[in-house]
Amino acid sequence: MPLVPRVTVVIPCRDDAGFLDDCLAALAAQTHPADRVIVVDNGSSDGSAETAARYGAVVVAEPSVGIWPAAARGYDEAMADTDIIARLDADSRPHPDWIARLVRAFVADPGLGVLTGGAEFYGGSPLTNYLGEHWYIGGGHYWIRKWLGIPLVFGSNFAMRTPVWERVRDRVARDNAAIHDDLDLTIRLRPADGVRYDPQLRMPVSARPLQTVSGLSRRVFKVASTFAASWPEGAAWRRREPAARGADAAATAEWTPDGDDWAPEFGR
């Protein structure tokens, strides 16, 4: 990796021109600018593609509707000429030092393969925002770490080295629009990939999915659908099998984790 790694930000988007405008404005104000921003237009009928082009982003069309098809297409487009693939959603509003924190973290630790953080919800009531941050996302980090042995990769706020995507791109359920793409990606990762969670790496995201019971229920039920789609790879006992660990370690020998997936020093 170069001394200053090349960073490409991928943003899947479907009919979210208003949110996307704010997201791209926040990216334009970064203290460490992205080398490239890719907006994956997932069959939008509004001005999402035009908004992306106005900010100089690369617009890639993905006609298969769904967050996994769109995100995977973006990662594929990014991998040819970048060192770090970063991921936002259209309703993310990154703090000005978000990319700078990512770059410092990956440069400082050669064993870091994937870095993820938490959420700061906006647009909801104080209670909704609090529950989203501490119960929905915070609880997800806690329980996924307990089950899978690595932190949950939060789709609105993470970055990975390009070789990580190269390893898992044919293993994820990239054509399945009915599952959580970030959880599915997490299931395909292993400790040897160097997955870390930085509680200081926080991302403002919209609370709109949490403001109705039906919206929240759909997202919770999709957790079960995601594990079902990846079964038995998502089984905790299977991930602990010595043979499986050996095979995955050999496939990702480039990174040797230090055994600590809690990384509060990263990005500071």
Residue 23 lies in a domain: yes
Residue 182's closest CA among 136, 223, 126? 223
Residue 175 lies in a domain: yes
pLDDT at 267 over 60: no
Residue 264 lies in a domain: no
Q: Which 8-state DSSP code applies to residue 226?
A: H
Element (H, E) at 39: strand 36-41
Tell me: the pLDDT tens digits for 107-156?
Answer: 999 999 999 999 998 887 887 777 777 767 777 778 888 888 899 999 99
Looking at the 3D structure of the chain, how many domains does it have? 1
Residue 149 lies in a domain: yes
pLDDT at 209 over 90: no
pLDDT score, position 114: 98
Domain that holds residue 214: 7-251
If one compares 217 and 140, the residue with the highest pLDDT of the two is 140
CATH number at residue 54: 3.90.550.10
Lowest mean pLDDT among 17-26, 99-108, 209-218: 209-218
Backbone angles phi, psi at 240, to 5 degrees: -95, 0
Q: Which 8-state DSSP code applies to residue 57?
A: P
pLDDT score, position 232: 85
Lowest mean pLDDT among 170-179, 187-196, 227-236: 227-236
Mean pLDDT of 181-188: 95
* pLDDT tier for residue 11 given thresholds of 50, 70 and 90: very high
| Percent of the chain clearing pLDDT 90 (strictly above) | 61
Cis peptide before 96 (omega within 30 of 0): no
Residue 263 lies in a domain: no
Q: Is 249 exposed, middle or buried (0-12, 13-18, 19+ CB in 10 A)?
A: middle
Catalogue the E-assigned strands of 49-176.
Answer: 58-61, 84-87, 114-122, 158-161
Q: Which 8-state DSSP code applies to residue 247?
A: H
Residue 121 lies in a domain: yes
Residue 2 lies in a domain: no
Mean pLDDT of 194-213: 84
Handedness of CA 42, 175, 144, 87 (dihedral sign): negative
Tell me: the pLDDT tens digits for 64-98?
Answer: 999 999 999 999 999 989 999 999 999 999 999 99
Mean of pLDDT over the chain: 85
If one compares 19 and 239, the residue with the highest pLDDT of the two is 19
Element (H, E) at 12: strand 7-13
pLDDT score, position 189: 94
pLDDT score, position 178: 87
CB contact set of 48 (below 8 Å; sequence gap of 6+): 13, 14, 15, 16, 17, 20, 39, 41, 90
CB 183 within 8 Å of CB 150 = no
pLDDT at 251 over 60: no
Residue 227's closest CA among 139, 152, 116, 118? 152
Residue where the block lists tokens 């991928």 = 10
pLDDT score, position 116: 96
Give the C-alpha separation, 95 to 100, whole Å: 10
CB contact set of 267 (below 8 Å; sequence gap of 6+): 101, 102, 104, 105, 115, 117, 198, 200, 201
